[in-house]
């Protein structure tokens, strides 16, 4: 577990991670948002309308644990999602939400299992993500999603928002970003393999690799 006691270092880490995700095509335009939970319980988030490719340390927002704006630029309109994850996952110290292309594509498919959208095609997906529930569509920024997200986050550190994109919590920002990338790559594999007979991990194999709860 990483406890972020140095706000300046946490700001630098958020910007560094944002740049990495953006330059490698995991997010685009002004989509996606990142946060970390500081040791005093406040949240440091990317601001609304910002691009992860250009956001600066001074631009970041700070809110209280419930997502109420304290200082900095206005926080992402999805700050309530981050707050919901932190509220029910005491070991989580970072949340990543992206609109990554392949995961977003899967979120638009009809007929997927809402209890577990992606099969465990690889060991690393089973280790870093595990089960991935699909939450029903809500417009971006619709706080009506908050109670459902909170209930689901009690037992899942990653969710997929219908017609939107994934949200992943982790014990550190590096861990959350790694799990997000694994989720995106597995979504890509899933789409590439549609129409083919696949051989995912068995339930026992996947359970043996299930990630610890942050």
The whole-angstrom separation of Cα 130 and Cα 128 is 6
Residue whose entry in the numeric block shows the structure tokens 């029910």:
88
Is 56 annotated as catalytic? no
Domains delineated in the chain? 7-208 (3.40.225.10)
45-96 pLDDT tens trace = 999 999 999 999 999 999 999 889 999 999 999 999 999 999 999 999 999 9
150-163: average pLDDT: 98
167-186 pLDDT tens trace = 999 999 999 999 999 999 99
- Of the residues 7, 57, 124, 146, which is catalytic? 124
- Of the residues 4, 78, 86, 182, which is catalytic? 78
Structural tokens at position 109:
């498919």
- Residue 138, CB-side half-sphere exposure with 13 Å CA sphere: 18
Is 137 annotated as catalytic? no
């Amino acid at each position: 577990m990483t406890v972020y006691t140095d706000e300046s270092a946490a700001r630098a880490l958020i910007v560094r991670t944002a740049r990495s995700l953006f330059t490698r095509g995991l997010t685009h335009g002004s989509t996606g948002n990142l946060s970390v939970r500081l040791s005093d319980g406040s949240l440091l988030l990317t601001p609304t309308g910002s691009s992860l490719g250009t956001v600066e340390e001074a631009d970041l927002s700070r809110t209280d644990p419930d997502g109420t704006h304290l200082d900095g630029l206005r926080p992402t309109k999805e700050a309530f999602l981050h707050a919901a994850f932190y509220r029910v996952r005491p070991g989580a110290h970072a949340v990543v939400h992206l609109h990554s292309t392949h995961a977003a594509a899967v979120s638009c498919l009809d007929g997927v299992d809402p209890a577990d959208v992606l099969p465990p095609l690889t060991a690393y997906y089973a280790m870093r993500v595990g089960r991935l529930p699909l939450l029903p569509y809500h417009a971006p920024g619709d706080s009506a999603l908050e109670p459902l997200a909170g209930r689901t986050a009690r037992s899942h550190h990653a969710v997929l928002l219908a017609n939107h994109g994934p949200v992943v919590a982790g014990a550190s920002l590096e861990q959350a970003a790694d799990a997000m990338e694994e989720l995106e790559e597995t979504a890509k594999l899933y789409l590439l393999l549609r129409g083919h007979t696949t051989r995912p991990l068995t339930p026992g194999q996947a359970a043996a690799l299930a990630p610890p709860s942050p």
